[in-house]
Amino acid sequence: MTNAPALALRDIRKAFGGVQALDGATLVVERGSVHGLVGQNGAGKSTLIKILAGIHHADSGVIEVDGVRQTMLTPARCDQLGVHFIHQDRLLAPSLTVAEALLLGHEPRWSGTPFINRRRLEAQAQAAIRCAFDIALPPRALVRDLSNAEQQIVQITRALLHRPKILVFDEPTTALVRREADFLFATIRRLRADGLTVLYISHYLNEIRDLCDAVTVIRNGRDVARVDARATPTSQLVSLMIDRAVDQLFPARQAAFGAKGLEVDKLSLAGQFEDVSFGVCKGEILGVTGLVGSGAKALARALFGLERPTSGEIRVKGEAQRLNSPRDAVAAGVALVPEDRRRHGVALGLSVRENATLAALNRFRRFGLLAASREKAAVNGLISRLSIRTPDAETPVRALSGGNQQKVALAKWLIHGSQVIVLDEPTVGVDVGAKVEIYREIAALAAGGAAIVLVSSDLMEIQGLADRALVFFRGAVVADIARSELESDRLLTFVTTGHDSREPHAKAAE
Amino acid sequence: MPKPPNRPALATALRLGAYLAFAAILLVFALAAPGFLTLGNWLNVLQQSAILGLLAFGLTIVVIGGGGNVVTGGIDLSVAANLGLAAAVYASLVKHGYPDALAAAATLSAGLAVGALNAVAVTALGIVPLLATLAVAKIVSGLEFVLTQNSVVTATSPFLAWLSDNGPLAVPVMAYVLVLVTLIAWPAVQATPWGLRLQAVGAHREAARAAGLPVKTYVAGSYLVSGVFGALAGILSAAYLTGSSPGSADILLSVVVAALLGVVFSPRLTPSIGGAASAVLFIGLLNNGFQLVNISSYWVSGVEGALILFVVACTPSQREAMS
Amino acid sequence: MSAYARFGLPVALLALVVLFSLTSPTFLTAANLRSLALNHFAILALASLAMTLVVTSGGIDLSVGTAIDMAALAYIVILQQGGAPPLAILGALGGAALVGLFNAGLIGGLGLPPFLATLGTLFIGQSVQQLATNGGVPIYLISGAPRPIFAAVDAARLWLVAFAILGVAALLAASLFGRRLVAAGVGPAVAYYSGVPVRRDLGAVMILAALIAGVAGIVLSSSVRSYAPLSGNGYLMDAIGATFLGTTFSPWGRANVAGTLLGVLLLSVVKNGLLLIGVSFYWSQVAGGAVILSVLAVSFLNRREA
């Protein structure tokens, strides 16, 4: 019993609809260790963690906590077992003070009265934070006025107050600056020294190396390796994460480019990215990638008028454009297939037809009214062109699978006829069959003369589709690589460290 | 540790601005109307604000538990109808000779029942509070009309007479009531675990759930509390008007204004009892000042409307919540 | 929503009609039906059509009664001062348009949430009316020389309503603006991300709704030959009720003209029928509220299961 691992998930299988998210994944975390979990987006990491948290239930497989087999995990049960999660969403009430948020549900009272003993509340809060982090946070500060790092400190301290045995950190450093991240690592090391077990999920591979004892790599729903973190070079981790079977998914492409469809000149957005310049020719697919917070997403938003750049210029077909809103962008001929499909891409309560024509209603105008027959014809045409699986054009989009919903989101811009298309994570949550069809369409769009910006954290996608790849790292472009130079490990190294795997300097850092 | 962003400065500025405006208006009235600054006048204002105050506290508690956004979060639009019904119940019972104690018990039960209906509609049936409480308001005001046949029900009783009279130190009893209720409600909401958890439920439902709080219970409870406050206000109203009279629905809008304005007067820019109390006082003094300076009371609702718009335009939390 | 659930509203309406026909000898008479149509139905229908437009776009209009009243005020005052009927009508529409423009500025321009914005408008409108009439004194034009315009509007009442019904239905079903409104109501973020001028449309719909309410104001004041301040507000709750009742009729749960009309009919029939069988006017208010609450409960329960 005493030698049993703190956590063991063995041979977990889980399918959503037709998609096999986990296909026999095993994760074993030794007691008192810091264990890293890495894998690309869509590899199955978050599904595995949600199963551990009791939010999803595995189709098959065994879960053991401290050697004891668990049959029905729920969030409450996890609490009882001493498994606590530090989620990416802070889950703190913004208008409460630090002390209140920490001790919510366990507020100290003046004995014999129903009133909170504020002095003890604040003293306890200060003591807890000092004990956990050895710093002083003003206990009366409001949660909403804290920085991301400070909120995380409150979050972690609150979890520690419950005397957890296992702490799971889910992408904890995405919103932190260097100094704050170092602070967090010091804390985690101290927790380990105190006997806590830590599961650490992150995309930042060098952090994994610095912090963890062991690492499990997840790929395609399965664990493919469990290695010693310190003894394994980053490049090896990288190659474990990449799936080599790239070729079948992507259509063949010829590089026949026209004039510049989109040019970006010294573009900066305060706090997000700085001094970005590039051009995309008609017929070219430019891949843009980077970790969360690296600036890649912010660039997509700026190109569509969702953020106003602080300096620099955007030119569409040679003409400088002031894009202050999506309306401006659409008028200039720029389209965006957004990352959050359900909130921004398609309206779930509208039909396929209503969604597909939303950006181009003016095309179907006849005497000031909507020409229903023309509209239907156009939509049906797109349904067949994109192979959208739907009973008919009147079906609410809510009823379609993720892949088909995404096709509708794409169809909207095809009907509009945009010539500059920005795609943000176009195949997240999309099954393989639909992925192939979407890739085919993207390639066809490029062949038809559109300039395409493909923002994606799926490096396979970038490699398979893009003619060039732009890599962002902490707000700057660190690489602009042509397809021929694009090996996957080089790309991933750029993404996770900001350096070239080819450069000798990067090797020395390992 | 990196410095936190400058939000607290903005919040303090807004609150400071609100209090400055309050003071400025007081100054204007003090200069323009003799007798504005007398103790007797202010006691008068307290007395006249008691009913609005009780209703505003009830609504504030619902809003605290439901999240500050008026439309998708918690709101209780049945408070005015509840007031009318309660006054009608009390007045009718007393008129028919029943003792005060019975009448009070019946009134409080009626208020509790209205609160329960709201609670069920919102938490069990899942109807959006805006619509649920509107429908309940219609039912309750119908019941009030049934009881009173849309006519005035005059009623007097020793208790009612005492309520509408002056108490010790020549201070009106209702002024005492308002102050007393404030002194009870304020710490109850700001200084007890119940109050804190209610705030957490309203501020971030997911976080409250993650902290193990029974969210639905708190929300349901807030409607019950509002119902009771409505009943209490109804008793005061019966005393003030020596009976019940139709047309209590007009006060609804003032109650909503008070709750909204209360946000701006609150230390955390979230709904609070203290803020509501300040807002109620503000509205009471505004009305009173208008009377003394001989400005037609018809300007009042317009000014209140402008105040709502001003507060909403200035509090980003309300606007962000809608996007 | 199950395919059958949407027929709850028309079935309930039918059941009530049957009930009242059986329990009251005068319910199904031509005279009563005409009174039902002209008095209960017409004005509420117009107010509810205005509300339907706003609710479709995702908002709510608490100032629809204010628009009715401002229109009535302008109308009666102009006639009282000897103005020609066409001027009075223009004035009425202008008064309503003012309310609509104010709302448009708050909601479309400043981006304030519709509930609070129209609440503010309601308050301010209240003040304006009280000041204009010195405390709520109605303006009567009953005595004196009969004015043909009143009779004309009375006669044209149902035509006006029919016109409004067709207009709003066509707008929502077949116009670009209507499509954009529906999108703004169902998925405002998606509409924004598709280049739809959401704020501009939200402002425009407030003006349109106010104009329709203005027509209601003309009809109302013509039929009672007077202007009674704040009387328009009496239609507010029922307009909201009818519109949301009507959403149960749509398979998508959207506000729609047919459903709203059914809702208006339901509320009118309840009020009229209860009156005829001798139930006091006040119980009918309770009944109306209970009906709305029940339909809402079914609608929201259904939505949660979906």
DSSP track, chain C: --TTGGGHHHHHHHHHHHHHHHH-TTTTSHHHHHHIIIIIIHHHHHHHHHHHHHHHTT---TTHHHHHHHHHHHHHHHHHTT--HHHHHHHHHHHHHHHHHHHHIIIIIS---HHHHHHHHHHHHHHHHHHHTTTT--EE-SSSS--HHHHHHHHHHHHHHHHHHHHHHHHHHHBHHHHHHHHHHH-HHHHHHTT--HHHHHHHHHHHHHHHHHHHHHHHHHHHTEE-TTGGGGGHHHHHHHHHHHHTTSTT----HHHHHHHHHHHHHHHHHHHHTT--HHHHHHHHHHHHHHHHHHHHHHHHH-
Determine if residue B5 is left, alpha or beta; phi over 0 gives left, psi from -120 to 50 gives alpha, anything else beta. beta
Which residues in chain A touch residue B263, judged by CB atoms under 8 angstroms apart?
none
Is residue C251 in some structural domain?
yes
Is residue C306 in some structural domain?
no
Tokens, residue B217: 């219970």
- Note whether A235 and A493 are within 8 A (CB): yes
* Average pLDDT score over residue span C224-238: 87
**Cβ–Cβ gap B193/A92 under 8 Å:** no
pLDDT at A247 over 60: no
CA B91 to chain CA centroid, Å, is: 22
Sign of CA dihedral C16, C20, C22, C28: negative
| Strand spans (E) along B152-249 | 153-154, 243-244
Which residues in chain B touch residue A146, judged by CB atoms under 8 angstroms apart?
4
CA distance B149 to B156: 19
Q: Which residues of B24-50 are buried (b: 16+ CB within 10 A; e: fewer)?
A: eebeebeeebeebeeeebbbbbbbbbb
Whether the CB of A303 is below 8 Å from some CB of chain C: the reply is no
The pLDDT value given to residue A289: 93
pTM as predicted: 0.81
Most confident of A465-474, A484-493, C18-27, C233-242: A465-474
A:371-400 residues touching chain C, CB 8 A cutoff: 372, 396
| Three-state SS letters, C82-141 | CCCHHHHHHHHHHHHHHHHHHHHHHHHHCCCCHHHHHHHHHHHHHHHHHHHCCCCCCEEC
CA distance B102 to A203: 69
The pLDDT value given to residue C4: 64
Bigger pLDDT: C65 vs C30: C65
**Cβ–Cβ gap A326/C192 under 8 Å:** yes
| Three-state SS letters, A143-203 | HHHCCHHHHHHHHHHHHHHCCCCEEEEECCCCCCCHHHHHHHHHHHHHHHHCCCEEEEECC
pLDDT at B322 over 50: no
Against chain C, the chains showing at least 3 CB pairs within 8 Å are A, B
The pLDDT value given to residue B209: 82
Beta carbons within 8 Å of C179's beta carbon, 6+ residues apart: A354, A357, A358, A361, A370
Q: Distance from C303 to chain A by nearest Cα, in Å?
A: 12
Tokens, residue A331: 């008028």
Which of B125, B127, B113, B111 is CA-nearest to residue B75?
B127
The C-alpha angle A2, A4, A9, rounded to 5 degrees, equals: 155
The pLDDT value given to residue A471: 94
The domain segmentation of chain B, as residue ranges, is 48-247
Chain A residue with minimum CA distance to C197? A327
- Note whether A299 and A273 are within 8 A (CB): yes
For chain B, what's the residue count?
Answer: 323
H/E run at residue A54: none
H/E run at residue A379: helix A372-385
- Note whether B29 and B292 are within 8 A (CB): yes
- CB contacts < 8 A, A to C, total 71
pLDDT at C99 over 90: yes
The two beta strands, A7-16 and A166-170, are unpaired
CA distance A245 to A460: 9
DSSP string of A259-291?
Answer: SEEEEEEEEEETTTEEEEEEEEETT-EEEEEE-
* Average pLDDT score over residue span A183-212: 88
Tokens, residue B173: 């009893």
Quote the radius of gyration of chain B (alpha carbons, Å).
20
Chain C residue with minimum CA distance to A373? C174
Which residues in chain C touch residue B256, judged by CB atoms under 8 angstroms apart?
119
The pLDDT value given to residue A508: 42
Bigger pLDDT: A81 vs C182: C182
Percent of chain A with pLDDT strictly greater than 70:
95
Output the domain CATH number for residue C105: 1.10.3470
The pLDDT value given to residue B64: 94
* Average pLDDT score over residue span C77-101: 93
Which residues in chain C touch residue B263, judged by CB atoms under 8 angstroms apart?
none
Chain C residue with minimum CA distance to A333? C195
User: For tokens 């980053």, what's the residue?
Assistant: A234
Q: Which residues of B151-176 are buried (b: 16+ CB within 10 A; e: fewer)?
A: eebebebebbeebbeeeeeebbbbbb
The mean-pLDDT minimum among A192-196, A283-287, B2-6, C20-24 falls in B2-6
CA distance B299 to C230: 15
Is residue C289 in some structural domain?
yes
Whether the CB of B207 is below 8 Å from some CB of chain A: the reply is yes
DSSP assignment letter at A351: B
Determine if residue B170 is left, alpha or beta; phi over 0 gives left, psi from -120 to 50 gives alpha, anything else beta. left
CA distance B120 to B78: 14
Give the tens place of pLDDT for each residue, A303-314.
999 999 999 999
B185 confidence band (pLDDT: 50, 70, 90): very high
Number of domains in chain C: 1
Query: Taking the CB of residue C35, how many other CB atoms lie within 10 A of it?
Result: 13
Bigger pLDDT: A133 vs C19: C19
Percent of chain C with pLDDT strictly greater than 70:
95
Tokens, residue A505: 């300097």
- First and final C-alpha spacing in chain C: 6
CA distance C215 to A68: 73
The pLDDT value given to residue B71: 57
The pLDDT value given to residue B138: 87
- Note whether B82 and B143 are within 8 A (CB): no
Give the tens place of pLDDT for each residue, A402-413.
788 999 999 999
Of B139, B302, B319, the CB nearest to C127: B302
B200 confidence band (pLDDT: 50, 70, 90): very high
Give the tens place of pLDDT for each residue, B39-81.
888 898 999 899 999 999 999 999 999 876 655 678 899 999 9
Provide the angle, in degrees to the nearest 10, between the axes of the packed helices C64-80 and C42-56.
130
Q: Suggest the residue from A342, A361, A420 to mutate for an interface test with chain C (most C CBs closer than 10 A).
A: A361
pLDDT at B6 over 60: no
A328 confidence band (pLDDT: 50, 70, 90): very high
* Average pLDDT score over residue span A2-8: 83
Tokens, residue B57: 């506290």
The C-alpha angle B141, B147, B153, rounded to 5 degrees, equals: 105
Tokens, residue A111: 């004995």
Which residues in chain C touch residue A338, judged by CB atoms under 8 angstroms apart?
193
C295 confidence band (pLDDT: 50, 70, 90): confident
pLDDT at A82 over 50: yes
The pLDDT value given to residue B315: 67
The pLDDT value given to residue B5: 40
B316 confidence band (pLDDT: 50, 70, 90): low
Chain B residue with minimum CA distance to C60? B71
B194 confidence band (pLDDT: 50, 70, 90): very high
> Taking all residues of chain A, what is their mean pLDDT, rounded to a whole number?
87
The pLDDT value given to residue A127: 92
Helix-strand-coil split of chain B, %, nearest 5: 75, 0, 20
Tokens, residue A155: 């979050």
**Cβ–Cβ gap A372/C174 under 8 Å:** yes
CA distance C113 to B151: 37
Phi, psi for residue A41 in degrees, rounded to 5: -60, 135
Tokens, residue C18: 């049957």
pLDDT at B3 over 50: no
Tokens, residue A383: 């349904």
Give the tens place of pLDDT for each residue, B223-281.
999 999 999 999 999 998 887 877 766 788 889 888 888 888 888 888 899 999 999 99
The pLDDT value given to residue B2: 32
CA distance A355 to C194: 9
CA C271 to chain CA centroid, Å, is: 16
Of B187, B194, B200, the CB nearest to A93: B200
